[in-house]
Amino acid sequence: MSLSHKFSLLSLFFLTTFLTATTLAFYPASGQPDADSSQDEGWISIWDGETLDGWRASENKDSFSVEDGKIVVDGPRSHLFYEGPVANGGDFLNFEMKAEVYTYPKANSGIFFHTQYQETGWPRIGYEAQVNATHGDPRKTGSLYAVQDVMDIAPHSDNEWFDYYIRVDGKEITFKINGEVVNQFTEPDDREGTIRLSRGTIALQAHDPESRIYYRNIKVRLLPD
């Protein structure tokens, strides 16, 4: 074999090795691009998993506690408002939020957004994303409460964790449960009152002493204004 032929074969070997290594770096073993990495970009945790630091409870403060890496909601009416460092103390405008939620039978709760702290009563400002699989209220999980509701049949079951996703972008509100869109609402320009989009924080609801709910892995991703 000539020297030039040997050199050509060696060059081909190194080129093949380089291309193979480059391909594996960009594609996992399945042969498909790794989509999860881009989906995780920009998400910020707003709960530390251990304390209620950065959150403030109204009226019945003992309705919220932390146990084994989850926020336990169990007690008379109260609301837990986010006041941590993200978005300058919870001044959210356009954003995505996701949380894992667990409901016990006949439990009722909710996630408020574009709201603000108030010491007593049901929040008067902002919208509520309902949490309810089997409570007597016919408005079930995925409802934009009393505005555009998911009636009678919940998109999840009690006694198991499910993923709740909320997106607010301009006038568009989207809810997903376990990755499936269950509600989309476009706020009309002429909507009046305080139950409307503006900007504000997020709050978790303790509805009544018979309702026990867990929350964990609470994250947000800020969207352009």
Domain ranges of the chain: 1-41, 44-222
Rg (CA), the chain: 24
Res 10: pLDDT: 39
95-131 pLDDT, tens per residue? 999 999 999 999 999 999 999 999 999 999 999 999 9
For residue 90, what is the enclosing H or E element?
A: helix 87-90
Task: Quote the CA–CA distance of 186 and 189 in Å, as a whole number.
Answer: 9
pLDDT in tens, 136-166: 999 999 999 999 999 999 999 999 999 999 9
Average pLDDT, whole number, for the chain? 88
CA distance 8 to 225: 57
CA angle 219, 220, 223 (to 5 degrees): 165
First to last CA, the chain: 68
Question: Which tens digit of pLDDT belongs to each residue from 175-215?
Answer: 999 999 999 999 999 999 999 999 999 999 999 999 999 99
Residue-level pLDDT at 38: 45
Residues 31-82 have pLDDT tens digits of 333 333 346 789 999 999 999 999 999 999 999 999 999 999 999 999 999 9
Question: Residue 155: left if φ>0, alpha if ψ -120 to 50, beta else—which one?
Answer: alpha
Instruction: Indicate whether this model's pTM tops 0.75.
Output: yes
pLDDT at 60: 97
Domain 44-222, what architecture?
Sandwich (2.60)
What burial class does residue 43 get, using C-beta atoms within 10 Å of its C-beta: 0-12 exposed, 13-18 middle, 19+ buried? middle
